[in-house]
């Protein structure tokens, strides 16, 4: 049961929270809080069954508060919530960057925006504007458009324009840039090196493009960037949020934090302490609920914010300013929804635009004596499964075996993790062998297993569903992502189901 403080401060504190919840319908506490000032909620995979159910859920939320901001973390790539049960029917950022057609990127984002808007989602924590300059990055990778700042910038701008033309507010992340790190901020605090000049020439370039494109929101990264602030992570830094993002870059929209329960900030400043410090530093909305969902978590944050205002730690004017910016975003979403399409009958195969884009992203590298494609017969598929990061989630399926089986009946498959069998080629005698990897360059055990398989079967085809930093095998197929659309595109190529230029 909530122990809600009374008065305007409690309402202001609720206005700046963006909590998640458990269930596929709004729980009673969320309904009650919407009447007490709660301005936003966030949907996760656990809240989603299908598009009809999402539309009913958001309608129930708006019955309590018509202008509630409904957010989601839908990158339309490996990170998907709206299609978490099957995998995204769109290609993801790295694939779009590999194609390098900004008009196509805008079209894919607009297609997604229309779908989200039609079911009542109004804020999307995307695009990922990080420059993936470190190929060993464990949390960004294929979520980035690429490693070139100018390329990432033009596709970030296109994605923002497309999504917002579709009726949904975009949120560029993870400011000031999560690409050059070996640490996942879900687990610890990453440190981004380099001079201020280098940051302006690399990490910050896509965020400037997003601001110029009119992005409605920017998400902070829980990142220590000594060149900008040697003492505080970006989420908690007035220098970075106020001095850089607001004053230097001219951003006037909503600054939303990455999930405040993430260990990069919560372990050092406390769950509620990090939220209060973020608001004081210039954040306008506190995202919470990926790992701490429920009224207790939201109530703890609301009470801490009120107490911080009463103690003088958080100026009331700063809280009021944050709540005002959230209200302005809500007004933008109401206007955008007025022009949003009514929801069409769902396509069981997902986005046709997305599949067409995924096909364009596939790249094949073949040696001079490589066996040709398509495969001569139904293959044996070995899929090497790396550890998942929290952002992608464990619930989203991936792999080439399933779509390949649809196209080539008789295909067999096995999935192996960090303790693979001595000979991954077992079971492939007399048949084509397909080795499916994700970020092969990042995993020693996977490289060793693939080397053994290629020594036994030099004719094997390697399919890379992650960042194609290591090209190996007689035939190497790179999809630039592990989405359902990407896997289908690879399977079609292997099976000869489509003609490719």
List, by residue number, the catalytic residues: 186, 258
Strand partners, 219: 256
Find, among 23, 120, 112, the residue nearest to 63 by Cα: 120
110 φ/ψ angles, rounded to the nearest 5 degrees: -65, -40
Give the C-alpha separation, 70 to 376, whole Å. 49
Contact call for residues 469 and 135 (beta carbons, < 8 A): yes
Q: Which CA distances in Å does 139 have to 183, 250, 292, 435? A: 8, 28, 20, 23
Query: In sequence order, which residues have a C-beta less than 8 Å from that of residue 442 and are 6 or more positions away?
Result: 135, 136, 138, 386, 466
Helix, coil or strand: residue 337: helix
Give the C-alpha separation, 487 to 18, whole Å. 34
Dihedral of CA 23/24/26/27: which sign?
A: negative
Give the C-alpha separation, 399 to 433, whole Å. 15
Distance of alpha carbon 120 from the chain centroid:
19
Find, among 302, 281, 317, 286, the residue nearest to 7 by Cα: 302
Give the C-alpha separation, 350 to 483, whole Å. 12
User: What number of residues does the chain have?
Assistant: 501
**Residue carrying structure tokens 């809280």:** 319
Burial 313-322 (b: 16+ CB within 10 A, else e): ebeeebbbeb
120: left (phi over 0), alpha (psi -120 to 50) or beta: left
Contact call for residues 415 and 453 (beta carbons, < 8 A): no
237 φ/ψ angles, rounded to the nearest 5 degrees: -105, 115
Contact call for residues 450 and 442 (beta carbons, < 8 A): no
């Amino acid at each position: 049961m909530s122990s809600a403080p009374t008065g305007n401060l409690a309402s202001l504190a609720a206005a700046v929270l963006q909590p998640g919840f458990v269930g596929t319908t709004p729980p009673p506490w969320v309904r009650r809080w919407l009447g007490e000032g709660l301005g936003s909620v966030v949907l996760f995979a656990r809240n989603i069954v299908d598009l009809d159910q999402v539309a009913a859920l958001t309608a129930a939320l708006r019955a309590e508060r018509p202008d509630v901001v409904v957010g989601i973390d839908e990158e339309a790539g490996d990170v998907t919530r709206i299609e978490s049960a099957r995998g995204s029917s769109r290609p993801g950022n790295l694939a779009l960057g590999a194609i390098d057609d900004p008009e196509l990127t805008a079209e894919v984002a607009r297609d997604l925006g229309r779908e989200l808007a039609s079911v009542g989602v109004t804020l999307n924590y995307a695009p990922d504007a990080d420059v993936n300059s470190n190929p060993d990055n464990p949390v960004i990778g294929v979520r980035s458009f690429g490693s070139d700042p100018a390329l990432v910038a033009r596709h970030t701008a296109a994605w923002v324009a497309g999504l917002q033309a579709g009726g949904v507010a975009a949120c560029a992340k993870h400011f000031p840039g999560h690409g050059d790190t070996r640490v996942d901020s879900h687990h610890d605090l990453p440190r981004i090196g380099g001079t201020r000049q280098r940051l302006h020439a690399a990490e910050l370039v896509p965020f400037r493009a997003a601001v110029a494109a009119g992005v409605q929101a920017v998400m902070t990264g829980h990142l220590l960037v000594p060149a900008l602030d040697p003492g505080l992570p970006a989420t908690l830094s007035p220098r970075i949020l106020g001095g850089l993002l607001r004053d230097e870059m001219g951003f006037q929209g909503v600054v939303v934090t990455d999930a405040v329960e993430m260990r990069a900030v919560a372990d050092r400043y406390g769950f509620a302490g990090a939220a209060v410090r973020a608001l004081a530093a210039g954040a306008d909305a506190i995202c919470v609920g990926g790992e701490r969902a429920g009224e207790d978590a939201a109530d703890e944050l609301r009470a801490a914010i009120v107490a911080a205002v009463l103690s003088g730690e958080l100026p009331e004017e700063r809280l009021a300013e944050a709540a005002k910016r959230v209200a302005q975003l809500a007004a933008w979403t109401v206007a955008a929804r007025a022009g949003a399409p009514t929801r069409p009958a769902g396509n069981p195969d997902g986005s046709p635009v997305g599949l067409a884009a995924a096909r364009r992203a596939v790249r094949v590298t073949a040696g001079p004596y490589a066996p040709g494609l398509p495969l001569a017969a139904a293959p044996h598929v070995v899929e090497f499964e790396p550890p998942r990061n929290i952002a992608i989630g464990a619930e989203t399926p991936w792999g080439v075996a399933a779509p390949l089986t649809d196209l080539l009946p008789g295909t067999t498959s096995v999935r192996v993790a960090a303790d693979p069998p001595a000979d991954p080629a077992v079971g492939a005698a007399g048949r084509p062998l397909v080795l499916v990897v994700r970020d092969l360059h990042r995993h020693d055990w996977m490289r060793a297993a693939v080397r053994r398989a290629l020594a036994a079967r030099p004719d094997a085809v390697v399919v890379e569903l992650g960042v194609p930093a290591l090209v190996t095998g007689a035939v190497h197929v790179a999809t630039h992502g592990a989405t359902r659309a990407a896997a289908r595109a690879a399977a079609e190529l292997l099976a000869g189901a489509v003609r490719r230029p």
